[in-house]
Chain A
Amino acid sequence: GDSVTQMEGPVTLSEEAFLTINCTYTATGYPSLFWYVQYPGEGLQLLLKATKADDKGSNKGFEATYRKETTSFHLEKGSVQVSDSAVYFCALSERGGSEKLVFGKGTKLTVNP
């Protein structure tokens, strides 16, 4: 079946550092790919998405590019802030974002001032 593998962390960075969280996937078809973020005490929020190969999703300074050849969707940000501290989940959906999501196990990011 479909699966998502991501860096498990935890990841600890200083403010203004560069962030990469790796995510790779296995899918039988052509999935849509997502990054969700969970701030402390809250549910998940969509951070960004990409629906086809070579698409780049971006939001709040975060970016991820859908790489079909390497089955990857790595999350990057050039300069993290303390407010980015959260848990980040990579996910895929075979039939668009409203259908079932398959999640990675999540990566906890802590950014220190």
Chain B
Amino acid sequence: DVKVTQSSRYLVKRTGEKVFLECVQDMDHENMFWYRQDPGLGLRLIYFSYDVKMKEKGDIPEGYSVSREKKERFSLILESASTNQTSMYLCASGSSGTGYQPQHFGDGTRLSIL
């Protein structure tokens, strides 16, 4: 089975801190994604990556950056955390070029910024 592992289930940080959320997948997928999930807003795409060292902005990239130095790992970085970044963060991965394959999700990191 495909496994997408997010490094923390729960995280509490302070305003202004630099925060790293890590995601690792074990299926050699080319594509990786970071979403944010908020009540009433559903899932919104922050950043995605189609290849190592490649990144593209999603719908809400402001205040975030990403890093993909290895194929299996995709990191989300909050450069200077703010309270409005308190949310559930979901990582996903998927293969490309195979046609209509689903994305596979991690269990999420619930991040609180105090």
Contacts and interface: CB of A to CB of B under 8 A. Distances in A.
B101 A100 contact: no
Contacts of A97: 94, 100-103
B100 A49 contact: yes
A81 interface: no
A104 B42 contact: yes
Nearest to A102: B45
A99 to B, nearest CB: 7
Given A45-B105, A49-B102, A98 B96 contact: yes
State the main secondary structure of chain B at its contact with A. loop
A44 B41 contact: no
Given A98-B96, A105-B41, A44 B31 contact: no
B48 interface: yes
Contacts of A58: none
Contact of B48 (A43, A96, A100): A100
A44 B94 contact: no
B102 A46 contact: yes
Given A34-B102, A98-B94, A106-B42, 4 more contacts: A96-B101, A100-B45, A100-B48, A105-B40
Interface of A: 8, 32, 34, 36, 41-46, 49, 51, 89, 96-101, 103-106
25 contacts: A8-B40, A32-B100, A34-B102, A41-B107, A42-B108, A43-B90, A43-B106, A43-B107, A44-B90, A44-B92, A46-B102, A46-B104, A49-B102, A51-B100, A89-B42, A96-B100, A97-B94, A97-B101, A98-B94, A98-B97, A98-B100, A98-B102, A99-B96, A101-B33, A101-B45
